[in-house]
Structure 1
Amino acid sequence: MKSILLHIDHDTAMKARLQVALDVARATNGHVTCLQAVSYEVFAPGDFYGSAIAAAMPVIKENAEKLRSQIEAELEHEGVPWDWRFVYGIAPHRLLEASPLADLVILGPAEVGYDGRGPSALVGDVVLKAHAPVLVVPQDAVALDLGAPMLVAWNGSAESAHALRAAVPLLACSCKVTLASITEPSEKSRYDFPSTDGAKYLSRHGIDCEVVEIPRGEANIADTLFAAAQMRECGLLVMGAYGHSRLAELVMGGVTRRMLSAPKLPVLLAH
């Protein structure tokens, strides 16, 4: 991961994802691009003359400058190459514009003003439309040990295959990779790509993996995957995102939505 795009904002996971970005950059000899998008689109009912926007602009700018100064001061002592992009506009749009030349986009699970729980509309937009995989870092992540075990969630879909392929540079650093499928006896399983295909793909990149099938039980799939990752002391979970449409996940719920609601460890997503 030579080009790492890091979203800068005031949300509760900012410190965690900064540390994870540094960990990834050190492990892969990568470069961190800090993207700070500031929007002046402030809406107040009845504010026909824009007085609320005019009053908010100096405060927004001052807070953005404070955050930049704080993070730049930290980066100066980390020994990792980095640059800073300060842009005006809505964060998802600006991140998507920068993503074609990024190997990895690092985001938090929730947006500013939330308590750290998602799912974040920003994450959904970037995962679905970006030209790079997205690493979602929860606020309580202390670091990302790329030498630790990693778990790949496999359901045979094109999305899980995309995620597997995108994660290869990180999986190559791991001491043990597990390719895990959740078995559901009540449903007829259908795999476009069996787990053996995923294992063969990794082997061609010099990565050995253990293929396991995990009974779902009474828990939902997201909780089952997190439990499997935690039991194996994994530092990263890799999975395909939005195998069903995003609208269907919003209305009916889905694995991706539940994963992003309260991630228990960093999750790499690709659609």
Structure 2
Amino acid sequence: MLVHENLPGHHFLMIQRSSRATLTQVNPYAPASPLEKSGRIHLDRLLMTNLSPASSPVRFDQDQGSKRTAAPSFAGPNGGAAMTFANILNIVKEDVTETELDVAVMLARSEKGHLSLLLVEAAEPPPVGVNLEFVSAPWQAENQENRSRLLDRVQDLEATLTRKGISNDVECAYTEIVRIDNVVGEQAQLSDVAVIGNDILADPVIRDAVLDGLLFHAHVPVIVNPTAADKWEENTVLIAWTDAPAASAAVKASVPLLKRARSVRAVMVDSSGSEREVTAKLQSYLSHHGIDIVVDFVGRNGLTVAEALDAHADQMQSDLLVMGAYGHSRLRERIFGGVTRSMLERRKRPIFISA
């Protein structure tokens, strides 16, 4: 459990793994880590805390008690040995539902992978006096109560996942909202794919911070709205294709899912002649993975790009949409471009997104 405490002149980061805990003192005035340098610059340097490498333990399989190894590959309907997402990170809030947990478990089983659950909650910033001379006693008491409650929730989630027979670990990040992107990015660095459900999507502030950490800090692809999926194999996948690097990144990252799909199509909205030429490269790339693809070209016909994508996905009865994430600024409120944000808000089906 990651617990971020503000005390006069210093920050403390408590890392809880089941019943073991270590307390690491961090100097907030120390040079920024590479992760912090790559992220946005906070006005208050005190809100930027280095995660201690020494406090990051080797993870163990909950159901095996041994060091985790890569999951075996298996063949998909499109031919060849299908790659898998061996390490799946599911970002949740405290009120995550049993249905959302079941979907995460279904995906992990489909991928023969390990499921890491990261419970994210935003902590209230402390009220402080001049020169950080005191921290409010009521705030400290409330903070301690929240930490205790979240620790209990972590233990409940561990027990639930273990009962479901899935290899898992559960952690909690309880920190200020301005640090969630950094913490999530740090936790996601060695994940193959991340998953966020409706509990995160329903909170736009936390949603954008989590997606920022996953897509732009850790550069990990994300499955959005997985509860809308009935299955992850023998399904119909639609790729929202453009000649932008983000679209290529999404295609490459989604190959494990594409190889097990029953049908894969790509669509270009309002494309020009030169843009259509890149579809040949897409078809060639996927053919080397044993994936057959059909490319559709559609006009907007008075619709927005997002509406046109959704309409075509409906027509093709697509189970999953693969698309790139486009950002215009490092400011949190402007991370995503109009099409990306619209699709995140519409989410009529699961979206596999990468930057």
Q: TM-score, normalised by structure 2?
A: 0.64
State which of 212, 220, 228 in structure 2 corresponds to 1:124: 212
Q: Does 1:93 align with 2:182?
A: yes
Q: Partner of 2:246 in structure 1?
A: 159
Question: 1:45 & 1:231 partners in 2: Cα distance?
Answer: 56
Q: Does 1:170 align with 2:262?
A: no
State which of 49, 54, 57 in structure 1 corresponds to 2:135: 49
State how many pairs are aligned.
Answer: 265
Q: Partner of 1:256 in structure 2?
A: 340
- How far off its partner does 1:180 sit? 1.0
Q: Considering only CA atoms, is the larger Rg found in Structure 1 or Structure 2?
A: 2
- How far off its partner does 1:100 sit? 2.3
Structure 2: 5+ residue stretches without partners: 1-84
Trace 1:14-163 onto structure 2 (pairs within 5 A).
Answer: 15=98, 17-37=100-120, 40-43=123-126, 49-89=135-175, 90-108=179-197, 111=200, 114=203, 120-137=208-225, 141=228, 143-163=230-250
Contact kept, 8 Å, 1:42 with 1:52, in 2: the verdict is no
Q: 1:11 to 1:240 in 2, by over 3 A?
A: farther
Question: 2:321 & 2:336 partners in 1: Cα distance?
Answer: 23
Question: 1:124 & 1:213 partners in 2: Cα distance?
Answer: 31
Question: 1:237 & 1:103 partners in 2: Cα distance?
Answer: 18
- How far off its partner does 1:176 sit? 0.4
1:167 corresponds to which letter in structure 2?
A: S
Contact kept, 8 Å, 2:221 with 2:353, in 1: the verdict is yes
Q: Which has the higher contact order (CA 8 A, sep 6+)?
A: 1
Question: 2:276 & 2:217 partners in 1: Cα distance?
Answer: 23
Q: 1:129 to 1:74 in 2, by over 3 A?
A: same
1:95 corresponds to which letter in structure 2?
A: V
1:122 corresponds to which letter in structure 2?
A: V
Question: 1:66 & 1:228 partners in 2: Cα distance?
Answer: 45
Q: Partner of 1:183 in structure 2?
A: 270
Question: 1:51 & 1:148 partners in 2: Cα distance?
Answer: 55
- What secondary structure is seen at the aligned counterpart in 1 of 2:275? coil
C-alpha RMSD over aligned residues:
3.3
1:159 corresponds to which letter in structure 2?
A: A
Q: 1:239 to 1:95 in 2, by over 3 A?
A: same
2:185 corresponds to which letter in structure 1?
A: L
Q: Partner of 1:10 in structure 2?
A: 94
Contact kept, 8 Å, 1:5 with 1:105, in 2: the verdict is yes
- How far off its partner does 1:28 sit? 1.7
Contact kept, 8 Å, 1:109 with 1:119, in 2: the verdict is no
Trace 1:170-249 onto structure 2 (pairs within 5 A).
Answer: 170-183=257-270, 191=275, 194-242=278-326, 244-245=328-329
1:64 corresponds to which letter in structure 2?
A: L
- What secondary structure is seen at the aligned counterpart in 2 of 1:233? coil
Question: 1:118 & 1:98 partners in 2: Cα distance?
Answer: 16
Q: 1:135 to 1:80 in 2, by over 3 A?
A: same
Contact kept, 8 Å, 2:181 with 2:212, in 1: the verdict is no
1:142-194 Cα offsets, whole Å, 9 max, x none, are 6443321011100111110000000000111110011111126xxx5653971
Which has the larger displacement, 252-261 or 200-209? 252-261
- How far off its partner does 1:239 sit? 0.4
Question: 1:229 & 1:265 partners in 2: Cα distance?
Answer: 9
Q: 1:123 to 1:49 in 2, by over 3 A?
A: same
1:189-228 Cα offsets, whole Å, 9 max, x none, are 6539712211111111011111111221222111221222
1:48-68 Cα offsets, whole Å, 9 max, x none, are 732342132133224313432
Contact kept, 8 Å, 2:236 with 2:263, in 1: the verdict is yes
Q: 1:42 to 1:117 in 2, by over 3 A?
A: closer
Structure 1: 5+ residue stretches without partners: none
